[in-house]
Structure 1
Amino acid sequence: MPRLDPDRLFPLEARARDLARALYGAVADLPIVSPHGHCDPAWFAGNDRFPDPARLFVTPDHYVFRMLFSQGVPFDALGVPRADGGAVETDGRAIWRVFAANYHLLRATPPAMWIDHALEHVFGWTPPLVAATADACYDHLSDCLAQDGFRPRALFDRFGVETLATTDSALDPLEAHAAIRASDWGGHVIPTYRPDAVVDPDHEGFARNVDALGAMTGEDVSSWRSYLAAHRARRAEFVAMGARASDHGHPTARTEDLPEAEAAALYDRVRAGQASAKEAETFRGQMLTEMARMSLEDGLVMQIHAGAARNHSAAMLASHGRDMGFDIPTRTDYVTALRPLLSAHGTDPRLRVIVFTLDETAYSRELAPLAGVYPALLLGPAWWFFDSPEGMRRYREAVTETAGFYNTAGFNDDTRAFCSIPARHDVARRVDCAYLATLVATGRLAEADAHEVAQDLAYNLAKRAYRLDRA
C-alpha cells in the first residue's frame, strides 16, 4: 500500500486544493532540469552499479548524517569518510541498520520526505523503515541495485532528467565529463566552474592550488594579469565541456572593484601569504567582480552562494574535512556588498548573476528589491536550510510581490544524493502549485495565468536562467 499521500503539500481548503491538483497534474511529469548540484560525474562516466543502499542514501547526504549526528550517532558508524584517514564502518548493512534504527529522528524533515519518495517511487518499497525492517529493506534495495535498470544512466533516463550540472573544482581535470561526452549515451551532464580553492586565500593550500592552476593552463600566475589569464583558460575548458555556469561559495557577498594596480598589489600580498583577514576578504570580493567580467566574455552564469559560516567546527574540519553539515547560516548584507559589482556591470543584459542566500531575512528586505531592478540579477530558489516545503512557501511569499516570478531562477535541487533529485523537484512543484492555487482562490491571479506560471517555475525558468534554452 502506498505510504505517500497524493495530496501532500496541497492546501486544506477544498477549492484551492482542487486547483493545486490541476496545476500539479500539468507539470508533474515535465522533464527535470537540474542546473546546480553535487552529483559525481564519475557515476555516469563509468555507469557502474551503486555499491549498496547505504552508500546511495546515507554516506553522501549531509542532510541525513548531520541530523543523526546531532542525536549522538557518530559519523564513523554511518560510514562517513574521514579526512584524517581514521577508520569508519565499511559494512553497508551495518550502516543501514544504524540508519534504519534512527530514521525516526528525521520525521517531518525534508530528507525524510525525499527518502520516502525514493523508496516508494524508485525502489517500490512501502513498509516503514525501522530497525525491524532494516535487513528486509536493505535486501530489497540491494536486489534492485544489482539490476541494470538501476545503474546511474538508467536511473538518469528514468527520472526524466534533461540536464544535470555537477559542481567541479577549478583544478578538476574533467576526465569524467570527457568520458561521458565520448560515450554513446545521450544524457546531458555538464560541469560547473567552482574556483573557491584558487580565489580564497583562507582555503587550505591556496598558494599550492594557484601554482597548480598555472601548471594546468601554462600560465606563469606570478602576476595579477597572468593569474586572471589562467582563470580564463580554465573557464574556456569548462565551456568546451558544456558548462553553463560558475559557482562561488564565499562567506559573504562582498564585492570590490579596485583599480588594476591596487588589485595587482593585493594579489602579490595574497600569493605571498602576507594578507590580513581584511585583505583576504577584499581579494575574494575583487575576484567576484573579475568573474563577472569574465562572464561577460564567455557567457557563464554566475552563482553566488553566500552567507554560510562554513566548517563551523574546527575539530570536525580536521577529522572529516569540508561539507560535513557544519556550515551554518549567518546574517548577510547584500545591498552594500553587491554594490561594487552591480555598479560596474549590473545593468549589462549580457551578465547573469544568480544569488542564493541562507539569510531568509534578506529576501524581502534586500534581494527581491535588487533583483526587481537590476537586469543582471536573478534570485536563486530557497536553498539548503530552506529548501523545505515551509521554506519554499516563505520564499515565494517574500519575493513575489517585489521581484515577481520572472526575476527568479526556477528550482534546482543542489544535491549529492542522486535518488533525491526527482523527490526534490516533486516537492518544489507541489509547493509552487499550492502557492499559485492560493493566489487564484484569493482573486490575485487568473487560473490560465497560474497554469502558465506553473510550467515556468517547474521547467522554463531554470532553462532560461542558465541559458540552457540556447543549447
Structure 2
Amino acid sequence: MHQDTLFPADPQTRAIARRLYGTVAGLKLICPHGHADPAWFADNAAFPDPTSLLVIPDHYILRLLYSQGIPLEALGVARRDGSPVETDKRAIWRKLAAHWHLFRATPARLWLEQTFATLFDVTETLRAGSADRIYDRIAERLEQPAYRPRALFERFNIEVLATTDAAHTPLDQHQALHNGDWKGRVIPTFRPDAVVDPEADGFVANVAALGALTGEDTTSWRGYLAAVAARRQAFKALGGTATDHGHPSAATADLSASEAANLFEDALRGRLEPTGAEQFRAQMLTEMARMSIEDGLVMQLHPGAWRDHNRLVYERFGRDIGGDIPRPTDYVAALKPLLDRFGNDNRLTLILFTLDETAFSRELAPLAGHYPALRLGPPWWFLDSPEAMTRFRETTTETAGFANTVGFNDDTRAFCSIPARHDVARRVDCAYLARLVAEHRLDEEEAMETAVDLAYRLPKRAYRL
C-alpha cells in the first residue's frame, strides 16, 4: 500500500492525517464482533489452501462474481443436495484472477491487496497471468508454522477477538480454549436468533436443544426464559461480554407475561402468522434488554437486512451465502417500547447498527445522542467502505459526537482481512479528523486523543473488554 492511501489529497491536511495515523497504526486490535471460527484457534491446524482461506468464506467476493453470471458451484460453494461442485481450488483461484477487474475500487479489493502485500509479500497485481505464481506463494506460506491460526492471531496484534455463536450450541471449542494454555483471548458472543425467531429453520428443534443443554423445560414460557438466561451465563463464563441479534427489523414490544406466554405457545405449535412472529421477536428483544441489565452482557442489534433474498440461492446452498439486501429500517417508533422501559438505565448498553444510511442523521444519531443506554455501531455489510465510513462520521458526529459511537469492529468471516479492515478504518478516521484540524474545529492534540479513542478505547469500553 502507498503510505498515503485514503488520506486527503490536500498536502497540508494529508500531513496532519499522517501524524494522526502514526499514533494509532501500531495499536492492538480490538475485535468485538465477527465470524471467525473458534475451531481455528482451538485446533490450530494449518489452513488448507489459499482459496479455502481467502475466497470461499468471503461473501463480498462470492456475490460480485455471481452477479456476473459465475455459478456458485464453480466457486466451490457446497450445495444442500450434495450435487457436485468445483473442488479444484487452483481452478477457483484462476477464476477469481480472471475476473479481478470486477473488484476495481471496491473495499474487498482494498482489503485483499493489503493482505497479499503485508501478509504474503505479494506485490504484483492479481490477474490471469499471475494467478498461479500468487497461489503458489500463498500456499507455500500456509504450510509454515508462522501461518497457523494462533501465530497469525499474535502477528495481527489482536488483543481480543469475539466470535459469533448460536445460543443452542455447546461451545466445545471455546471450552477447549478456556481450558488450554494458549494466551490468545478468543471469546464467544451469544447469538440467539435461532431460538427467538419462530420463522427460523428448525425453531422448535432449536428450542428443544436449548432445553437439553440447560435442563430447563423449554415447553413453558417460564422455562424457556430460564434456559435463555442460563445459556447467557454459560457464554459469560467462557469470557463472553456481548449478545448479537440479527432481526429483520428493530421492532420491540412490552407485552404482559400472559400475552408473551400465549405467543410462545403458538410459536411452538407452528400457529404464528408473520405478524405474530414479528411480535414475538419484538418481545424477545425487550426480554434480552432486561437480561442484559441483570447479567451485564452488551446488546448488539443488526436489523434491516432482507436475508437470503435470492430464493434460488437459498434453496440450493442454504442460508448466509451473500444474498442479503438492505432495506429501509425504522428505529424511532420500533425501539420505543424497549426504550420506555430501559433506555434511561446506565446498566444497559445497546449498540445499534444499520444498513439504511438515511437513518444515521435522521434517527440513530439523535437517539444515541440522547438515551444513555444507546450507542452507534460502525458501518457494516455494504457500508464498510471508505466512502461510507466517512459519511457515517459526517452524519453522526454533529448529533451524537464521538463518545456515543463504539469505534470499529471488523464483522468478518475472512480472518486474514482483519488487520486490513482495521487499518482502513483507522486511515479513514484520521483523514476525517485531519480535516477538522485543518478547518480549526479541533486542535491536533484533541484529534490524536480522539483517533486513539476510535481505534482502541471506545470499542474496549463499549463491549466491556
Give the TM-score normalised by structure 2.
0.99
Alignment of 1:37 onto 2:34:
yes
- Aligned mates of 2:40, 2:99 — CA distance in 1: 28
Q: Any idea what SS the aligned residue of 2:375 has? A: strand
- Aligned mates of 1:85, 1:433 — CA distance in 2: 48
Alignment of 1:336 onto 2:345:
no
- Unaligned segments of structure 1, at least 5 residues: none
How far off its partner does 1:184 sit? Answer: 1.8
- The aligned residue for residue 387 of structure 1 is 384
Residue type of the alignment partner of 2:90: R
- The aligned residue for residue 68 of structure 2 is 71
Match of 1:214 among 205, 211, 216: 211
How far off its partner does 1:110 sit? Answer: 0.3
> How do 1:227-376 and structure 2 match up within 5 A?
227-376=224-373
- Aligned mates of 2:86, 2:47 — CA distance in 1: 17
Alignment of 1:186 onto 2:205:
no
Q: Which deviates more, 270-279 or 405-414?
A: 270-279
Q: Any idea what SS the aligned residue of 1:434 has? A: helix
- Aligned mates of 1:136, 1:215 — CA distance in 2: 51
Post-superposition Cα deviations, 1:47-105, rounded to whole Å, max 9, x if no partner, equal 00000000111000101110111011111111122233222111211111111111111
- Aligned mates of 1:306, 1:55 — CA distance in 2: 29
> How do 1:382-421 and structure 2 match up within 5 A?
382-421=379-418
- Aligned mates of 1:186, 1:282 — CA distance in 2: 43
Match of 2:7 among 7, 10, 15: 10
Q: Is the 8 A contact 1:84 1:318 kept in 2?
A: no
- Aligned mates of 2:200, 2:131 — CA distance in 1: 40
- Aligned mates of 2:83, 2:285 — CA distance in 1: 37
Q: Any idea what SS the aligned residue of 1:164 has? A: strand
- Aligned mates of 1:334, 1:76 — CA distance in 2: 38
Q: Any idea what SS the aligned residue of 2:302 has? A: strand
Q: Any idea what SS the aligned residue of 2:353 has? A: strand
- The aligned residue for residue 458 of structure 1 is 455
- Aligned mates of 1:354, 1:81 — CA distance in 2: 34
- Aligned mates of 2:92, 2:274 — CA distance in 1: 41
- Unaligned segments of structure 2, at least 5 residues: none
- Aligned mates of 1:83, 1:40 — CA distance in 2: 21
Residue type of the alignment partner of 2:130: T
Residue type of the alignment partner of 1:369: P
- Aligned mates of 1:65, 1:178 — CA distance in 2: 32
> How do 1:134-173 and structure 2 match up within 5 A?
134-173=131-170
Give the TM-score normalised by structure 1.
0.98
How far off its partner does 1:182 sit? Answer: 2.0
Q: Which deviates more, 368-377 or 84-93?
A: 84-93
- The aligned residue for residue 441 of structure 2 is 444
**How many residue pairs align between the two structures?**
465
Q: Is the 8 A contact 1:377 1:407 kept in 2?
A: yes
- Aligned mates of 1:267, 1:350 — CA distance in 2: 28
What stretches of structure 1 move > 4 A for 4+ residues in a row? none
Q: Any idea what SS the aligned residue of 1:454 has? A: helix
Q: Any idea what SS the aligned residue of 2:445 has? A: helix
- The aligned residue for residue 423 of structure 2 is 426
Post-superposition Cα deviations, 1:227-253, rounded to whole Å, max 9, x if no partner, equal 000101111110011001000000000
Q: Any idea what SS the aligned residue of 1:131 has? A: coil
- Aligned mates of 2:78, 2:249 — CA distance in 1: 28
- Aligned mates of 1:56, 1:254 — CA distance in 2: 37
- Aligned mates of 1:331, 1:429 — CA distance in 2: 28
- The aligned residue for residue 47 of structure 1 is 44
CA RMSD of aligned residues (A): 0.7
- Aligned mates of 1:206, 1:239 — CA distance in 2: 24
Q: Which deviates more, 332-341 or 218-227?
A: 218-227
